[in-house]
Chains A and B, each alone.
Chain A
Amino acid sequence: MSITVKYFGAVAEQTGTSEEELNLDETGNSVAQLKAYCVQKYDLEEEETIQLAVNQVLNAGEKLEEGDEVAFLPPYAGG
């Protein structure tokens, strides 16, 4: 039951990686559980400012499934 997790910007800087495979059995299979797992694993700062996109959609369903791509997105800075 693995998912792909991508990290960007300030979050990638803290994790030291831009992408990894994680196992849902370890992380828990909800968006909130995955976020809590990664925040603890990497001691992520300002977690309240990090949005998660599931398969490139923000505020997607709470349940994660095999093969999902989840992105940890810090505040945007385009323009």
Chain B
Amino acid sequence: MSEKKIKKVFVEGAIPPDKIAGSIAHHQSKTGIGAHSIFLGQVRADVINEKKVAAIEYTAYEEMAGKKFHEIREAAFSKFDLTCAHIYHSLGTVKAGEICLFVFTSSAHRKAATDACSYLVEEIKAKVPIFGKELFEDETHQWKVNQ
């Protein structure tokens, strides 16, 4: 089942844990679901050249990112037998330890849910024009590059 409507993905600031719990609760009425897979990306306090990352400031080419998220989501529905798929990504500043990406896939069976979730995360990292400024504790910064 594919939903053609372009969904809002970007969230200002960190994704609150309550949003994740709420999302799970919303799916309890969909009793055809037998498996959920959830990926949470969390900002890591990397130490680079003896300086610790305090936060990441995310920006995006929002119009293009919206299209890419939509294409990626549609591709996931065509590749995997999904009941639903949700993606949320932060914009703005997210502190170390906070959640910046929430991918939530649901299916009748676990394999489709877990495979689709992994697929979405990899595609998001590779194809969506989002940029991250790693802010160090001493207020210097560097630009993050996905590996």
Contact = CB atoms under 8 A, between A and B. Distances in A.
B133 A9 contact: yes
B64 interface: yes
A76 B128 contact: yes
Given A77-B143, A78-B124, A78-B125, A10 B131 contact: yes
Contacts of A8: 59-61, 129, 131
A71 interface: yes
Contacts of A77: 56, 58, 130-132, 143-146
A74 interface: yes
B125 A76 contact: yes
B11 interface: no
Q: How large is the interface on A (under 10, 10 to 19, 20 to 34, 35 or more residues)?
A: 10 to 19
Nearest to A10: B143
B67 A56 contact: yes
Q: Which of A8, A10, A78 counts the most B-chain CB atoms under 10 A from its CB?
A: A78
Q: Which of B60, B64, B125, B144 counts the most A-chain CB atoms under 10 A from its CB?
A: B64
Interface string A32-72: 00000000000000000000010010000000000000010
B89 interface: yes
B143 A76 contact: no
Contact of B125 (A13, A56, A79): A79
Nearest to B89: A78
A71 B146 CA distance: 19
Contacts of B64: 53, 56, 71
Q: Which of B61, B126, B127, B129 counts the most A-chain CB atoms under 10 A from its CB?
A: B129
A24 interface: no
Contacts of B132: 9, 77-78
Contacts of A9: 59, 131-133, 143
Contacts of B125: 76, 78-79
